[in-house]
A and B are shown apart, each in its own frame.
Chain A
Amino acid sequence: MEQSPLAIYQSHLDKGELAYQWSPVAERAVFYPRLVCPFTGSTLLEWRVASGLGTVHATTVTHPQQGEPYNVALIDCDEGFRLMSRVEDIAPEAVSIGMRVRFRVHRPSGDKAGDEPAYPVFFPAEAAA
């Protein structure tokens, strides 16, 4: 039985890694992880670990009816795949298109920690220097 792409992705995150798939036939990155390559139909997909560097492609500040506004962004990772995430450590409205960002793992805390899996977030790359 095949392990789910989600489980493999999640196990990388648990090790602090942002994993993605590589299609050797299409010679392109594939994200989100899946069993079949969307460019070729091939089931041949290799797992790779991203450098964690990326660029903000699109950004918004979402205002919940209750609670503080927060950032939601699309990040283009340097390896050529895009994912939804958020940029932390700065005000949500200060996140701008073209900003260089770096990945870290967000591990949910509080009452539901343990139920909620870890997920990737980003922060301004300049701050990491």
Chain B
Amino acid sequence: MTGLQRGGAAIVGAAESDLGQVGEGLNPIDLMAQGIARALDDCGLGLGDVDGLLCASTQSRTSGLSLSEYLGISPRYIDTTILGGSSFMFHVAHAVAAIQLGLCEVAVIAYGSTQRSVGRRQASVREVNPFETPYRPFLPSTAYALAASRHMHEFGTTREQMAAVAVAARQWALLNPVAWEKKPLTIPEVLNARMVSYPFTVRDICLVTDGGGAIILTTPDRARSLKKPPVYVLGCGQAITHANISSMPDLTITGALDSGRQAYAMAGLTAKDIDVVELYDAFTINPILFLEDLGFCAKGEGGRFVEDGRIAPGGELPVNTNGGGLSYCHPGMYGLFLLIEAVRQLRGECGDRQIDDAETAIAHGNGGVLSSQSTVILGTPATV
């Protein structure tokens, strides 16, 4: 993004809160606070160091107030931008800007959701749209299914190719001890699962879990003195193309094309230079779209690209190494978890799922119904 400095801030702490189905009575602010405490411990900073707070939740209209009160802080810089699951990538760009301008020095980005415990209807209140609601779209699934129908029509993408995305995610999840799903998954099992909105069965669709977490950013100077190697923000980009699927300009081209270009330009990198790829996989069509739009393959080639285990463990391009929203965890707005996994990969903390010699990572967030796209490119100290 124009105006942001490559490597102008670094992620120094990253942690999940409890995930999956959390203890009875825990609320989203509890999970944000738990994630923040763990992320502070991860880098050796304390709550007293935090002067920037960024957070988003669908269960708390004024989460910035609630979280500040809970933590007993009055942050100099506060930002509760909410644009769906990609919100946290937007937060990274805003945190880098705030740190660069001196509006704050230690910024925390936090998320929490108890949508599994309280039910999706409670966690995310449905908004009535007189131009869509009468047709009973099961949102967001129906909207993504409409986009998938165009990809299948224009490029011959198949249900089996989309199922390969779910199978790869499951293979990665089996290497992640905290992943929700614990059993292997096959392509026929995806295809024969309960149909939700054609072409998607329930196995083409992200999980419904609880969960939260936090990441901590600070200046490059301060980052170098902390517990773990800094993970630098090399590039950021963002694009909003629509809110409702009927207004999406082209159902097969997402705003990731634009957000990716901005992030690559800022980072001085291209898709070929990226070692670890974390893409928001709310539905199996998503990674296919984003692999195309972020330049890992040509437009229309995404279905063929994901066949034959290319994005699975041992494949040519590691994608969604934590098991993704499809098999690891998806509390509703998943973007923060992509950033946490990218940080851990670049620090070499990922155990059985660690990518060798990972120096660069892309974490791409999606929000709404392919509506908001935000890309963050991260790098190890060797990349700055």
Q: Which residues of A contact B (CB under 8 A)?
A: 6, 32, 57-64, 69-70, 72-74, 82-86, 93, 97, 106, 116-117, 119
Distance in angstroms between the alpha carbons of A126 and B251 in the assembled complex: 27
Chain B neighbourhood of A64, CB < 8 A: 136, 138
Q: Which residue of B lies closest to A108 (CB)?
A: B134
Q: How far is the CA of A69 from the CA of B148 in the complex (A)?
A: 18
B134/A58 in contact, CB under 8 A: no
Q: Which residues of A contact B197 (CB under 8 A)?
A: 60-63, 72
Q: Give CA–CA (A69, B195) in the complex, Å.
A: 10
Q: Is B297 an interface residue (CB 8 A)?
A: no
Q: Closest A-chain residue to B195, C-beta based?
A: A63
Interface size on B, residues (CB 8 A): 28
Are A59 and B146 in contact, with the CB atoms below 8 A?
yes
A72 adjacent to B153 (CB under 8 Å): no
Q: Which of B244-303 contact A (CB under 8 A)?
A: 244-247, 251
Contact assessment for A62 and B138 in the assembled complex, using a CB-CB cutoff below 8 Å? yes
Instruction: Apart from A60-B198, A72-B142, A97-B150, list 5 A-B contacts with CB within 8 A.
Output: A60-B197, A62-B196, A72-B136, A84-B245, A97-B149
- CA A48 – CA B194 in complex, angstroms? 43
Residue in contact with B246 in the complex, picked from A82, A86, A106, A119, CB distance below 8 Å: A82
Q: Classify the secondary structure of A's interface with B.
A: strand
User: At the interface, yes or no: B314 with Cβ under 8 Å from chain A?
Assistant: no
- Measured between beta carbons, the chain B residues less than 8 angstroms from A97 are 149-150, 153
B contact set with A: CB distance below 8 Å = 130-132, 134-138, 141-142, 145-150, 153, 194-199, 244-247, 251
Known: A61-B197, A62-B196, A63-B195. A85 touches B146 (CB 8 A): no
- In the assembled complex, which residues on chain B have CB atoms less than 8 Å from the CB atom of A86? 135
**Is there contact, CB below 8 Å, between A62 and B246?**
no
Partner of B142, one of A60, A82, A83: A60
Q: Which residue, A63, A84, A93, A119, has most C-beta atoms of chain B within 10 A?
A: A84
Task: Give the distance in Å from the alpha carbon of A118 to the alpha carbon of B198 in the complex.
Answer: 27
Interfacial chain A residues near B147, Cβ < 8 Å: 58
**Contact, CB under 8 Å: A83 / B137:** no
B246–A59 touching, CB < 8 Å: no
Q: How far is the CA of A62 from the CA of B148 in the complex (A)?
A: 13
Q: Are the C-beta atoms of B137 and A72 separated by less than 8 Å?
A: yes
- Are A60 and B131 within 8 A (Cβ)? no
Give B368 Cβ to nearest chain A Cβ, in Å: 15
Q: A6-B130, A83-B131, A84-B245 are in contact. Are A62 and B137 (CB under 8 A)?
A: yes
Q: Nearest 5 CB-CB pairs, A to B? A: A60-B145, A58-B146, A119-B134, A62-B197, A84-B246
Q: Assess whether B196 is in contact with A57, with CB atoms less than 8 Å apart.
A: no
Query: Which residues of the partner chain A approach B142 to less than 8 Å between Cβ atoms?
Result: 60, 62, 72
Instruction: Write out the residue numbers on chain A whose beta carbons fall within 8 Å of the beta carbon of B195.
Output: 61, 63, 69
Q: Check B135–A72 contact: CB distance below 8 A.
A: yes
Nearest-Cβ distance from residue A63 to partner chain B, whole angstroms: 5
The complex places the Cα of A59 from the Cα of B134 at a distance, in Å, of 16
**Contact status of A61 and B198, CB under 8 A, knowing A74-B246, A97-B153:** yes
